[in-house]
Amino acid sequence: MINYRTYEAEDFLFDESFRQWTTETTPQTARFWEQWLVQNPDRAEVVRQAQELVRALNAHYRDDATDERLAQELAQLVGKAAERRDSETEETPVVPLSQRTWWRWAVAASVVVLLGLVARIYVNRTAKPAAYSYEYLTKNVPKAPLEEKVNTGTKAINVLLSDGSVVTLNPKSRLSYPHRFSATTRTVYLSGEAFFDVVKNPAKPFLIYANQTVTKVLGTSFLVRAYTEEKDVTVMVKTGRVSVYSLKDYEKAQQSGLRRVEGVVLTPNQQMTYNLEENRLIKAVVEKPAALVVNRPSREQEFEDAPVARVFASLERTYGVKLRFDEDAMAACLVNVSFNEENLMERLDVICQTIGASYEVLDGQIVITSKGCH
């Protein structure tokens, strides 16, 4: 039991029970204090003083916040919180699509991303952080050994990845990728310039590590250009959605389990400049959107009652990949089809559906099996 007899006015000031009595918030305290005053009449003056102080201070500290305003602020807060969380959820896998249906989804979405990672080159010999260089990353980061394609020629070469995505690697460029992608992500490393035709799979984001940036693909096809000596990286998007992060931020977030990464989401006709020295991402509008198309190979194809062998041959040329199939068994198969923005896998899906065939990706080649057409 507290000995209130020794209390001075300011001690009462901070006594919860005393304050409740004074502000009349709880009736139970009133009984106690009234009784106490009867028993300690000599302390009545101190108590009166303290009560006056409590009342005066309460009035003094009164604010203008109404219940309505508080409710409104709280609703706004909760709304913003939900909004921010939802914008993060692109980080987390959505419903995984089954092997047989992903192409329908991709076609229906028909999102084409053209992303140019165009950099202005200023050779920087001193401040290059080796930690995030292409060489360092490909040697030290992946758990499984990587395969590497180096284009030393003068023409672009095509690389077929295990998920069916096709990378057109331009001259003086290198691409490292795992023989088989991991269960959670599809990560590749690029030095130089490449055009990506990525098979859409929201459950397994496609990540391109290039010159201290990480580009996450939410759309389907785009161009990346990032030569090693570069100090300024620009990402441009024609259509669709692409996320770009600084490598440092991306890795930090991955390690700490943070779902929100400081990055830039690019939508059509937006461009991002990443300055390697200032380690800053700057978003802007693309000045001449049409220029983006220049680096993008045209892959329009149209076939009318064409023998499937001819279609496959055309696909081989367009994508620079090897297609294996039994030409005799499929001699009677004719297709009517036209392609524009579809990627290789989407095209193969359409063709195989038409002629009742199936295909699989084996060691950088596509093997098509069919019982033939009648």
Partner 1 sequence: MEHVTAAEYKNLTPQELWQRFKAGDELAFGELAQVHYRSLYNYGLRLTTDSERVWDAIQDLLLDLWDHRTTVGDAVFVKAYLLKSLRYKLLKTRSGPTAVDIDESTPAQLPFADSIEQQIIDSESQTEQTRLLHQLMASLSKRQQEVLYLRFYQNLDNHEIAQIMGLERQSVANLLHRTFKELRSQWSSSLLLLLLEMIRSGAN
According to the binding rule CB under 8 A, does residue 367 interact with partner 1?
A: no
Strand partners of residue 69 = none
According to the binding rule CB under 8 A, does residue 109 interact with partner 1?
A: no
Within residues 32-61, the interface with partner 1 by CB under 8 A covers 49, 52-53, 55-57, 59-61
Q: Among residues 37, 44, 81, 291, which is the contact residue for partner 1, using CB under 8 A?
A: 81
Within residues 198-257, the interface with partner 1 by CB under 8 A covers 256-257
Spatial separation of the C-alpha atoms in residues 217 and 187, rounded to whole Å:
11
Within residues 15-34, the interface with partner 1 by CB under 8 A covers 16
Nearer to partner 1, 54 or 244 (CB): 54
Instruction: Pick the piece of the chain touching partner 1 (CB under 8 A) from 76-84, 135-143, 144-152, 196-204.
Output: 76-84
Spatial separation of the C-alpha atoms in residues 365 and 22, rounded to whole Å:
85
Q: Tell me the DSSP string of 237-259.
A: ESSS-EEEEEHHHHHHHHHHT-S
Instruction: Pick the piece of the chain touching partner 1 (CB under 8 A) from 4-12, 35-43, 125-133, 340-348.
Output: 4-12
Instruction: Pick the piece of the chain touching partner 1 (CB under 8 A) from 74-82, 144-152, 313-321, 359-367.
Output: 74-82
Residues 6+ apart with CB under 8 A from 55: 22, 23
According to the binding rule CB under 8 A, does residue 9 interact with partner 1?
A: yes
Spatial separation of the C-alpha atoms in residues 128 and 124, rounded to whole Å:
7
Phi, psi of 373 (to 5 degrees): -115, 150
Q: Tell me the DSSP string of 318-348.
A: HHT-EEE--TTTTTT-EEEEEESS--HHHHH
Six-digit token string for 296: 């993008």
Distance of closest approach, residue 251 Cβ to partner 1, in angstroms: 15
Starting at the earlier edge strand, list the strands of the sheet with 280-285: 115-118, 232-237, 270-275, 280-285
According to the binding rule CB under 8 A, does residue 2 interact with partner 1?
A: no
Q: Among residues 5, 31, 84, 139, which is the contact residue for partner 1, using CB under 8 A?
A: 84
Interacting residue ranges for partner 1, rule: CB under 8 A = 8-10, 13-14, 16, 49, 52-53, 55-57, 59-65, 69-70, 73-74, 76-82, 84-85, 256-260
